[in-house]
Amino acid sequence: MDSFKGKVVVLTGASEGIGRALALKLAGRGACLVLVARNAERLATLTDECTALGATALGVRTDVSRREDCSALIDAALARFGAIDVLLHNAGSSMWSRLDELQDPGLLERLMRTNYLGAAWLTWQALPALKASRGRIVAVASLTGLAGVPTRTGYSASKHAMIGFFDSLRIELAGSGVSVSIVAPDFVRSEIHRRAIGPDGRPLGTSPMREAKIMTADECAAVILNAALRRRRLVITSLRGRVMRWLQLIAPSLVDRLAARAIRRRS
Ligand SMILES: NC(=O)c1ccc[n+]([C@@H]2O[C@H](COP(=O)([O-])OP(=O)(O)OC[C@H]3O[C@@H](n4cnc5c(N)ncnc54)[C@H](OP(=O)(O)O)[C@@H]3O)[C@@H](O)[C@H]2O)c1
């Protein structure tokens, strides 16, 4: 496969940010899209936009943190298209709170369900179809899945879980024709920062990031699609992220300081 034309792509977290950019790019390349998010209105608008770009698009309202929704989603995708070529796990939500300031630790469970378990359940359900198509699994994780970041304990844990899951699955799938790609973005300009859950359990409302300094959702989407096409194993979107991987071996406390500084500088 050297293009997405005619390929069935199940894309979670399609309604905003990186997912929306992915959906529009894939639509322009003639993919058959199964677009997934909770917000039905935004999903319907996006489905129309993708159709106008020439794609065949089906919106399936799904909360990936609910296992029954995940089953229904894969059933709906197979009922409509009869195959799944790419399963792109992009849905996610975040936090912005030190643990000792967090008023309700239930957030830790919610992040795990959305960012890790949803991807795991969907993959389990779609595996026979992916084996039949010798397809691709793409997991949008995060740099926080490779290193600790302050204010992100629960988020980082969920992304570490995601990476552990997909690294293990890749080994199990050796020889099956199914590839597993992990993309670990650094900060990206999207809705996730203003929607991040603060210490009081509510979304922050405005982004604390220096948005002009960070990668755009469009740029990140291009990196993700390239990783999918090339069946790349792990893609880290920033130079500092790639350097960090080496520093973890020789100077891990320096990595801690760099992570703390990135949060202080908000970029
Ligand atoms: N932006 C960054 O700095 C950054 C950095 C590293 C990694 N990432 C990762 O990139 C991915 C995309 O994030 P983004 O930055 O584009 O965030 P975003 O703009 O907030 O978009 C998140 C998307 O996920 C969907 N979503 C959230 N919870 C869901 C659920 N329970 N079930 C189904 N869909 C759900 C949202 O739609 P609904 O609310 O309508 O459901 C939305 O479409 C995430 O996995 C995130 O962790 C982002």
Closest atom, ligand 1, to C-alpha of 66: 31
- Cα angle 8, 37, 156; round to 5: 100
CA pair distance 79, 142, nearest whole angstrom: 32
Residue 260 belongs to some domain of the structure: no
Residue 193 belongs to some domain of the structure: yes
Residue 255 belongs to some domain of the structure: no
Report CA(251)–ligand 1 centroid distance (Å): 31
Residue identifier of the C-alpha nearest atom 32 of ligand 1:
63
Domain that holds residue 225: 8-238
Closest atom, ligand 1, to C-alpha of 144: 6
Annotated catalytic residue within 4, 155, 166, 187: 155
Mean pLDDT of 214-234: 98
Annotated active-site residue 155? The verdict is yes
Mean pLDDT of 154-167: 98
For the chain, the distance separating the N- and C-terminal CA atoms, rounded to the nearest angstrom, is 36
Q: Is the pLDDT of residue 87 over 90?
A: yes
Residue 74 belongs to some domain of the structure: yes
Residue 264 belongs to some domain of the structure: no
- With a Cβ cut-off of 6 Å, ligand 1 is lined by 12-19, 37-39, 42, 62-65, 90-93, 114, 140, 142, 185, 187-188, 190-192, 195, 217
Closest atom, ligand 1, to C-alpha of 155: 47
Q: Is the pLDDT of residue 2 over 90?
A: no
Report CA(246)–ligand 1 centroid distance (Å): 28
pTM, two decimals, is 0.98
Q: What is the CATH number for 229?
A: 3.40.50.720
Beta bridge partners of residue 35, listed in sequence order:
11, 59
Cβ proximity of 108 and 152 under 8 Å: no
* Overall number of domains in the chain: 1
What phi and psi, each to the nearest 5 degrees, are found at residue 193?
A: -75, -40
Residue of 35, 50, 151, 188 to mutate, ligand 1, most atoms within 8 A of C-beta:
188
| pLDDT score at 52 | 96
Mean pLDDT of 146-170: 98
Closest atom, ligand 1, to C-alpha of 14: 43
Mean pLDDT of 104-116: 98
Label residue 238 by pLDDT band (50, 70, 90): very high
Label residue 1 by pLDDT band (50, 70, 90): low
Residue 246 belongs to some domain of the structure: no
Q: What's the pLDDT tens digit per position in 248-258?
A: 999 999 999 99
C-alpha distance from residue 157 to each of 110, 113, 145, 154, 162 (Å): 12, 11, 7, 5, 9
Residue identifier of the C-alpha nearest atom 17 of ligand 1:
192
CA pair distance 142, 156, nearest whole angstrom: 8
Residue 222 belongs to some domain of the structure: yes
Q: What's the pLDDT tens digit per position in 10-51?
A: 999 999 999 999 999 999 999 999 999 999 999 999 999 999
Residue 145 belongs to some domain of the structure: yes
The pair of structure tokens assigned to 153 is: 């304990």
Average pLDDT, the chain: 97
Q: Is the pLDDT of residue 229 over 70?
A: yes
Report CA(179)–ligand 1 centroid distance (Å): 23
Amino acid present at 46: L
